[in-house]
Chain A
């Protein structure tokens, strides 16, 4: 296996994802519409029950109440079923992505092991380096290397930040803790996907120049162009949250360089 065929295989593999996702989310939508309609129905029935009470007082027995209650209950049950279906569908979607992701990661590890690919820190770059050569679908090592620096300049980083913000939020917190707003969702997800959700979503993201998953306390680099953005305390010799801006060794170096240049100019 070589990087170019691996890339081709991967792009081929994921080419179905678009359709699959559209389908799955469509199904979720249909299920949700069912819930919505059922809900409308039982709310209506509930209103009927209440209307009767308002008209006849709570002392009078409503001959239809039993029947209505039963129907309401059935509709609620239907809602629960539909919601379950939605969870299964969402789970399927997550599974599909996870499957591709872990496969790609495995491939990358194999390539790295064979010294066909630069080590993990260039994950992003090799991927984008691969993009360029996909058009020609011939990828010599030389070309890849040439493509790497240009492709890696800025684009991937913004995205990564956007990706990773919901997870590592505060400077001095672990990347696992979300804010209040999404806390419940997180909880719920953990329940639901306890098997692989954490592994896939939280932990698979690689941080720091050691390119490991997040563990313990993490610190964010304030460098605008930082390659990694998040670092393990232990990797950068931190024991407590830094005061003020903190830069990783690379960015500190870069900062010093630019200052030097400015002074010279």
Chain B
């Protein structure tokens, strides 16, 4: 019985630690996602995006200064953020803890 109890305690502790780990990882996950989102925004709206083009829009506009159209990007162009299912679900709002979005 004592052995079983020890085993139980050990498992319990493992579980607790795993839960804490998971929480930390989820927080980091959100952070990283936010970071991707921010960098993506910076990249897509950056000054040079209109001048050089971006990897999303292609580089056809290279040096042509198409200001408005090149600057404007829709949410569809967020290919980096959108590659995360979690991000998509958070946007749709059916995931708990939706703080990973702007």
Contacts and interface: CB of A to CB of B under 8 A. Distances in A.
A69 B55 CA distance: 44
Interface string B44-81: 00111101100111111011100000000000000110
A222 interface: no
Contacts of B19: none
B62 A131 contact: yes
Nearest to A90: B83
Contacts of B86: 32, 36
A145 to B, nearest CB: 16
Contacts of A154: 47
Interface string A16-28: 0110011001101
Nearest to A124: B48
Contact of A135 (B51, B55, B63): B63
A22 B48 contact: no
B84 interface: yes
Interface residues of B, number: 31
Interface residues of A, number: 34
B62 A155 contact: no
Contact of B83 (A11, A28, A158, A159): A28
Interface string A145-179: 00000010011101100100010000000000000
Interface stretch (A60-68, A180-188, A238-246, A257-265): A180-188
A25 B47 contact: no
Given A25-B80, A29-B82, A33-B85, A181 B35 contact: yes
28 contacts: A17-B55, A17-B58, A18-B55, A21-B55, A21-B56, A25-B82, A26-B79, A29-B83, A32-B83, A36-B86, A36-B89, A97-B55, A128-B63, A131-B52, A131-B63, A151-B63, A154-B47, A155-B47, A155-B51, A156-B47, A156-B48, A156-B51, A158-B46, A158-B47, A159-B46, A159-B49, A162-B43, A185-B35
Interface of B: 28, 31-32, 35, 39, 42-43, 46-49, 51-52, 55-60, 62-64, 79-80, 82-86, 88-89
